[in-house]
Amino acid sequence: MTSFHERERAFENKFAHDAEMQFKAVARRNKRLGLWAAELLGKTGEDADAYAAEVVRADFEEPGHEDVIRKLVADLGARADEATIRATMDRLLSEVKAEMLRDG
């Protein structure tokens, strides 16, 4: 019976670890996405960092990333369309996950 409980605990620990890693990856992706958008908006330095923090906070409005997309579509206007934003989100998430795997 202990073997079953050990496997169950290991599965629970892995699930919690994976969820934490996904949360961190999405938060990092959102920060980089915010910096990308800030550059398109002509923001630099502290203004760019503050805008990136706004993008990270926008992700807490509802589950999923549609809240972030809505914010960026509204803020960027003609500077980037929704398809470009979504493609950038995907690319940045892949980059962040690869970095996290590489860095351990």
Assign 1 a pLDDT band (cuts: 50, 70, 90): low
pLDDT digits (tens, 9 = 90+) for 28-87: 999 999 999 999 999 999 999 999 999 999 998 888 899 999 999 999 999 999 999 999
Domain of residue 47: give its range. 2-103
How far apart are alpha carbons 37 and 101 in whole angstroms?
26
The tally of domains found in the chain comes to: 1
Could you tell me the pTM of the whole model?
0.84
